[in-house]
Amino acid sequence: MIWLSKTFSDRLERPWTKVDDAFAVEGEEYRNPEGANRRTLRFEVDGKGYFLKLHWGVGWKEILKNLLSLRLPVIGAANEWRAIQRLGELGVETMRLAAYGKEGWNPATQRSFVVTRELENSISLEDYCADWAGRPPAFAEKQRLIARVAAMTRRLHRNGINHRDLYICHFLLRQPWDGAEETLHLHLIDLHRVQLRRRVPRRWRVKDVGSLYFSAMETGLTRRDLWRFLRVYHDQPLRSIFEQQGEFLRAVEKRAMALKEKGIPDE
């Protein structure tokens, strides 16, 4: 199965007709996690940048090991392809699909790929906020970013989606930005481990929000900043949140502190 967007197909010298065409692409390697059976490349077509994620069979041994550890194995590009489409339906800014393909039905041996357009003139929130602790941004600018991240997270969770790697480095802010709400474009990336279902279990909401909190700890956020996030995420007054969500908040704090001790796993 091969799908190409018309724009991407028109730019290719020869349209891709099989998965081998994607695996033959040469480009700048961005990621190649050891033992993960996937790699990410950046390449250009007709002067436009694209990212290509290649997946190949992880083998039944690895699949069973993940399942026995109560971890959902990533066995192909289909998950990211579906996640990008779903986020688009929900109005959550993310990557733009250019191509997708899959070869074989056996999850232990199949090969697949997904291509997305490069998000040009963008910076991760991790880099954008790196000096906030020493050089705080304008109050309104910070409040808008916090509210946008909270609103995006709320929309995911209320629509049966959890990210599993929800760190501020996976939010890309389009540049330049003048600090206004109407010019704020924040894209969520790295969706290969996203889970899609009817309802997100509490423990996965805790993991997402706890991961966000951990990754923002060094940005100089104040207690009022955290409260603003909670108000937008829960869509409730603070009093109601503290009365009804105490267990959730304690679990989020525990998750964030655990990550602070061991760091972000490279998955």
Which residues are catalytic, by number?
165
Sheet holding 122-124, edge to edge: 122-124, 171-174, 186-188
The 8-class DSSP code of residue 51 comes to: E
DSSP 107-123: TTT-EEEEEEE---SEE
Cα 4 to Cα 11: distance, rounded to the nearest angstrom: 11
Q: Which residues pair with residue 41 across a beta bridge?
A: 29, 52
176 φ, ψ to 5°?
-75, 155
For 256, residues 6+ apart whose C-beta sits below 8 A from its C-beta are 210, 211, 213, 214, 217
CA nearest neighbour of 166 among 200, 189, 132:
189
8 Å CB contact between 125 and 168: yes
The beta-strand segments (E) located in the chain are 2-4, 28-31, 38-45, 48-56, 97-103, 111-117, 122-124, 161-162, 171-174, 186-188, 195-196
Tokens of 45: 């077509």
Q: 């967007």: which residue's tokens? A: 5
